[in-house]
Structure 1
Amino acid sequence: MPPRQRRSLPYNAIAAAVLAVVLSAEAGRAQDMPSPFVQSVAAAAAEDETVSAFYAARDYRTLWTGPQDAERRSLVLSAFATAADHGLPVSRYDAATLAALFASAQTEGDRGRLEVAMTRAYLAFAHDLQSGALVPKKVDGGILREVTVVDPAVNLAAVESPDFAAYLRDLPPDAPEYARLMAARFELQQVVGADGWGAAVLSGGLGQGDRGAAVVALRDRLGAMGYLGRTATAIYDRDIAAAVSQFQIDHGLPATGKADADTLAEINESPESRLQSVTVALERLRWMGDAPRGDRHIWVNQPDFTARIVDHGKVTFQTRAVIGKDSADQRSPEFSDEMEYMVVNPSWGVPRSITVKEYLPLLQRNPNAVGHLQVVDSRGRVIPRGSVNFAAYSARSFPFGLRQPPSDGNALGKVKFMFPNPYNIYLHDTPSKSLFEKQVRAFSHGCIRLGEPFDFAYTLLAPQTDDPQGSFEESLNTGRETVVKFDTHIPVHLVYFTAWPTPKGRMTYRNDVYGRDQRIWDALMAAGLEPAGASG
């Protein structure tokens, strides 16, 4: 089993387990000693309480190694053989090695150890498909997703269910994107095995009317990637421009139809790189498991810099988003929660980290600095600046907070959307509108800024009022901080997918803005993932 589910016991505990089997057998069968198989199973299972209890409860009957277990054994070995297709670390449940052990086992002791090895491999395989092969927080501290782990005892009990084959098929997430990602992974493996998409396009930029070797290379590469039909043209024509536009849409670039430097950099990305992104996306979906996203939910994909409202699987509203800066304490985290209310005309309670790192040094030099902010005590009461000796405090000892009251220049703009969480992350408006024109939008302290927050609010309010815009503006026009609750809480998913399939199966890709995907890939490789391009 994976290390996080195993409890290693000292040698004397293993001996005690064997002794318990011996004593139990003596009580039930007079002077008969337990068989070498039973002793071997007991010793091998003793270091895992769940496995040990399971075999003891069934009087050490076989699951995999008896003549009557052939069908079950074949099913699970066949399932293990698909591990590479899912982008899982094959070495944890290597079907070929286990099959060889079945062929080479000579003693009852060998068979007992193999019995437990199969059980452990099955539990590891089931766990990894259901919940992922890695622990998110151990890979990156910004991945705060709570992963649901199925009790190993439940997976063990399923082995003898009437339709074990169906249970094995249902282990992976049932999200439609999972199957599409697996299909994309298979196609990319074929491309890698066939030496890729052809020669790189060596040019600083191309546009309609251009001709020559670089255009031919662009034509051939677009064709190999499925963006362009068969053509012998050596001129950058309308068909090539249309193919480039679709490629740009799929890769989060402005759809100009011109192959500028940024577009060519994406076109020249290797299939191995795309395969890596798809493999990581599969692991991320396993972390999300089969928990429902919600008939209506909010989906913020950080590398895409977008926030979407999704109703019954269809995007009903989308807006540009700004995410946290790529610095250690400002990257936006990944987690799911439920949006409960919005605050119209919000005040901004400056986070402690910003207060002491950015503003306290300014106030120590000039008590009248950052005049748009109020100094408040622990009860939220405004404290006159003249009564505070800012120089007397350090970042640790500073006892006050800072707050910006509602205003046109408020850092949160005119509305914030709240899903109370320990990380103080939420979605909000911003007065800094120019940032939404940038292609890479990582500028915040961690919260998600929305490009069209009012329309976002109207869409969220629509199910509970006949006039969502009027209802919102009624609160807005008061100028006062106002809480507007949602009749039904709305699931919010802050996710990070650099590879994502459209409903029609077309793959879209984004850049790994925080380097998180690379860390996940490295961890998967360290866990035993086969190199990119290796087939299962």
Structure 2
Amino acid sequence: MPIQLYKFHTKQSVWQRFLRCALILPLSLAWTPTALALHRIDPDVCETLPTISEFHQQALTQFELQTQGLALWRDPAQLDALLSQLIAVADDGLDPLDYHFEELAHARAHLATWGQLGRCDIKLATDAYLLALSDLHYGRARMQGTDAVWQAPQFTRPPQPAQLVTIALQGLSDLPLAFNEARPQLPRYLNLRTAYRIARDNLPSQWPEVPPGPTLEESDLSDRVMALRARLEAERYIAMPVTASPAQATDAASPSAASVAAAQRFDPQLTAAVEAFQQRHGLEVDGKVGKGTLAALNVTPAERLEQIKANLERLRWLAQDMGRDANRNLLLVDIAGARLELYEKGQLSWTGRAQVGRPTRETPELKSMITHVTVNPTWNIPRSIFLKDALPSIMRDPLYLSKRNIRVYNSTGDELDPLVVDWQNPKNLSLKQDPGPGNALGEVVIRFSNPFAVYLHDTPSSGLFNTSQRFYSSGCVRVEGAMELTRKLFASGSAEQVAQFEAAKASGLSRNVHLPKGVYVVLAYWTAEANQAGEISFRPDVYHSDGSLLAMLDN
């Protein structure tokens, strides 16, 4: 069904909107008089409802038990309110057609003739109500069993049908209130929802395409520069040309060689526009149009809209975690943005830059609890890094290990001389790096339970934090200002606990120190976000996750 189905003018009455929808139903969905009669009187017709999840079935059963005797959906105003709210979920990137919208709009349009809704219509309305609330509150793909994010025991609290039923019951007299109660109130979500609505309602059919070719940069002269200029004008990174007078239009029809050359030249104004585009799309800000920038320029408007929709779903998941326990601090690792945010009692208290896993060694999405830190850590080098990274370097340089204070051990834990080891057969060998300034883990490791052997840590590779796309690690999260963050994690402790931490650090020895109180940690991935004005920014989908999520949503 085309998107204009949902782009109703706000001045239209609710009745006009529904009547319009009912009248434009495709012929394949038109109901014959016999079908309409059966629809109203035969409860078996309701068995054609699609197969639903166990969670939704439980919620539906509980809701129907607690509303027995109520005249649900028989008041036209209540049905109008439901249909109006189903239209509104389009602003959340959800499809009203997934909530029996066509059938209910058709029933509402014929209500005056029928006198009252049939049993199946009432069941459809109830099903639509609960399903829409569930998808808003918990996430549509998540409720289909596609939330594959690993969770520690503290997070394995499944959605409760009773919670959804409570929202639904309390909102029966005020459906907008029920939908707003179910809808995440996380500012990050509400901002992106606004951006999605603005983008959808102003969606151009296409943007000018920039042809492929070598990197474009300032002072270049090319027809491709003209295409680049048109592309950036389309999104107002460059001011659109003022409408020409008739005389100017005549001159433009036969432009001079000088004007053509000016349009083809990559000038400082165009460089500034490219830099603004790169900044907004999470790209390296160098003012040059290389492979990555060209790919971002040639993403279509429809693809960008779908990207926003995917991230609204991700933020529905995230909202549940952000609001889990207002009395416990939470550290949020933004994987795609390579940054961290610490929330204390729900308020942002610290931010920092991170380096995360490269595409071939992704940082996993997970939810866990930070329990302790290791100061002055030794680094037990993972087998994969040993074989893929260290071993080739050892083969080239016999002193590679000694230069980095890395020791070699056999399977029984005995230290070996690296100069006499048979590196052609490293099967039973392991590597460990001593604490110190050159240690790859820096001064501190922040630890939490997970099956991926990942953690947050300090790093001596501080220069890499100055790049915009910080996908360098083998899966762990390198933290700029890791010691500052660690002290924030200990700030809630007693003076004695803080002193114990500082003493352990000063000892120079590798020691584990437990936090005064566990801190939730969420490693999450999203590729679009917006500010309060609805101005959106994107990140490259480095892990190629958007497509699979959109497929789940469209299923």
Q: What's the TM-score once normalised by structure 2's chain length?
A: 0.69
User: In the alignment, which of 325, 332, 345 is matched to residue 376 of structure 2?
Assistant: 345
Answering whether residue 443 of structure 2 is matched by residue 414 of structure 1, we say yes
Aligned partner of 1:286 in structure 2 is 316
Matches within 5 A, 1:230-249: 230-231=240-241, 234=263, 236-249=266-279
Displacement of 1:342: 2.2
User: In the alignment, which of 63, 69, 72 is matched to residue 63 of structure 1?
Assistant: 72
Distance in 2 between the 1:133 and 1:406 partners? 47
Contact 1:174 1:290 in 2 (8 A): no
Distance in 2 between the 1:256 and 1:355 partners? 35
Helix, strand or coil at the partner of 2:183? coil
Q: 1:357 to 1:265 in 2, by over 3 A?
A: closer
Displacement of 1:182: 1.9
Helix, strand or coil at the partner of 1:343? strand
Contact 1:340 1:489 in 2 (8 A): yes
Instruction: Read off the aligned partner of 1:73 and give its amino acid letter.
Output: L
Aligned partner of 1:86 in structure 2 is 92
Distance in 2 between the 1:215 and 1:42 partners? 60
Question: 1:445-500, CA deviations, whole angstroms, 9 ceiling, x for partnerless residues?
Answer: 4221234434544565667799x999977644422013344445444221111111
Displacement of 1:318: 1.9
Matches within 5 A, 1:97-112: 97-102=103-108, 111-112=118-119
Helix, strand or coil at the partner of 1:118? helix
User: In the alignment, which of 359, 377, 380 is matched to residue 326 of structure 1?
Assistant: 359
Instruction: Read off the aligned partner of 1:335 and give its amino acid letter.
Output: L
Answering whether residue 234 of structure 2 is matched by residue 224 of structure 1, we say yes
Aligned partner of 1:480 in structure 2 is 509
Aligned partner of 1:181 in structure 2 is 192
Instruction: Read off the aligned partner of 2:551 and give its amino acid letter.
Output: D
Contact 1:429 1:450 in 2 (8 A): yes
Answering whether residue 146 of structure 2 is matched by residue 117 of structure 1, we say no
Alignment identity in percent?
Answer: 27
Displacement of 1:521: 1.0
Q: 1:326 to 1:43 in 2, by over 3 A?
A: closer
Q: 1:461 to 1:53 in 2, by over 3 A?
A: closer
Instruction: Read off the aligned partner of 1:180 and give its amino acid letter.
Output: N
Helix, strand or coil at the partner of 1:82? helix
Task: List runs of 5+ in structure 2 lacking aligned partners.
Answer: 1-39, 243-261, 392-399
Task: List runs of 5+ in structure 1 lacking aligned partners.
Answer: 1-35, 361-368, 528-536
Helix, strand or coil at the partner of 1:492? strand
Q: 1:359 to 1:236 in 2, by over 3 A?
A: closer
Helix, strand or coil at the partner of 2:176? helix
Helix, strand or coil at the partner of 2:192? helix
Instruction: Read off the aligned partner of 1:253 and give its amino acid letter.
Output: L
Aligned partner of 2:12 in structure 1 is none
Matches within 5 A, 1:330-479: 330-349=361-380, 372-374=407-409, 382=413, 404-430=433-459, 440-457=469-486, 460=489, 475-479=504-508
Contact 1:335 1:493 in 2 (8 A): yes
Q: 1:317 to 1:376 in 2, by over 3 A?
A: farther
Q: 1:169 to 1:41 in 2, by over 3 A?
A: farther
Distance in 2 between the 1:110 and 1:508 partners? 46
Distance in 2 between the 1:190 and 1:340 partners? 46
Distance in 1 between the 2:388 and 2:225 partners? 52
Contact 2:43 2:120 in 1 (8 A): no
Displacement of 1:291: 4.3
Aligned partner of 1:254 in structure 2 is 284
Instruction: Read off the aligned partner of 1:83 and give its amino acid letter.
Output: V
Aligned partner of 1:307 in structure 2 is 340
Displacement of 1:138: 5.2
Instruction: Read off the aligned partner of 1:204 and give its amino acid letter.
Output: P
The number of aligned residues is: 469
Contact 2:377 2:445 in 1 (8 A): yes
Helix, strand or coil at the partner of 1:252? coil
Contact 1:310 1:316 in 2 (8 A): yes
Distance in 2 between the 1:156 and 1:351 partners? 47
Helix, strand or coil at the partner of 2:407? coil
Instruction: Read off the aligned partner of 1:268 and give its amino acid letter.
Output: N
Q: 1:203 to 1:499 in 2, by over 3 A?
A: same
Distance in 2 between the 1:283 and 1:257 partners? 33
Distance in 2 between the 1:136 and 1:372 partners? 49
Distance in 2 between the 1:356 and 1:208 partners? 43
Distance in 1 between the 2:239 and 2:291 partners? 23
Instruction: Read off the aligned partner of 1:420 and give its amino acid letter.
Output: S
